Amino acid sequence: MTAASTDSNQQRLKHFRNQLLQLHKLLLESERIRYEQTNGPIKNKGEFFQLVIGDDAFSWLRPISQFIVQIDEFLTAKEPPENPEETAAILLEKGRLMMKPNENSSTPLAAKYFEAIQRDPQVALMNAEINQVFKP
């Protein structure tokens, strides 16, 4: 699905959120593989969860997790904001800026995201799909 001009910002945001969730899962798995190559196998899901929330190796992924929560809060709010289309547009723009890979970025998210795209073809494909949401 591409972001046709007839799609509302809220529809585009829902689509973006679903894709971002898939990307986040791919990035977690990609980072897990990298972590295990250096530190040995992760024993179970509980240990992995603790690493994701507390280890520096996974810290660059936390802004994505937090942003997904922010989108979910907007989409499920009992009382939507005064102008939900405008709020959805702002969240989409934030997502577009946030998910820009940049090899030379000073932010860990942009730099590590760039690295993940280079090493993992599935991440690269998902990145291309996400970028379709932002096309007019």
Contact between residue 9 and residue 89 where contact means Cβ atoms under 8 Å apart: yes
Is 1 within the bounds of a domain? no
* pLDDT exceeds cutoff 50 at 4: no
Q: What are the CA-CA distances from residue 3 to residues 8, 10, 12, 20, 69 (Å)? A: 9, 11, 6, 15, 22
Average pLDDT, integer, range 46-62: 96
Rg (CA), the chain: 16
Is 2 within the bounds of a domain? no
Predicted confidence (pLDDT) per residue in 77-112, tens digit: 999 889 999 999 999 999 999 999 999 999 999 999
User: 67: domain range?
Assistant: 9-133
Is 49 within the bounds of a domain? yes
Contact between residue 68 and residue 24 where contact means Cβ atoms under 8 Å apart: yes
Is 79 within the bounds of a domain? yes
* pLDDT exceeds cutoff 80 at 1: no
Would the pTM count as exceeding 0.85?
yes
Is 93 within the bounds of a domain? yes
For 38, counting Cβ atoms within 10 Å of its Cβ (0-12 exposed, 13-18 middle, 19+ buried), the class is exposed
Is 39 within the bounds of a domain? yes
Query: Tokens in use for 91?
Result: 């969240």
Amino acid 2: pLDDT:
42
Rounded Cα distance between 19 and 13, Å, is 10
Is 16 within the bounds of a domain? yes
pLDDT band for 7, please (50, 70, 90 cuts): confident
Is 103 within the bounds of a domain? yes
* pLDDT exceeds cutoff 60 at 3: no
- In the chain, the number of structural domains is 1
DSSP state of 77: -
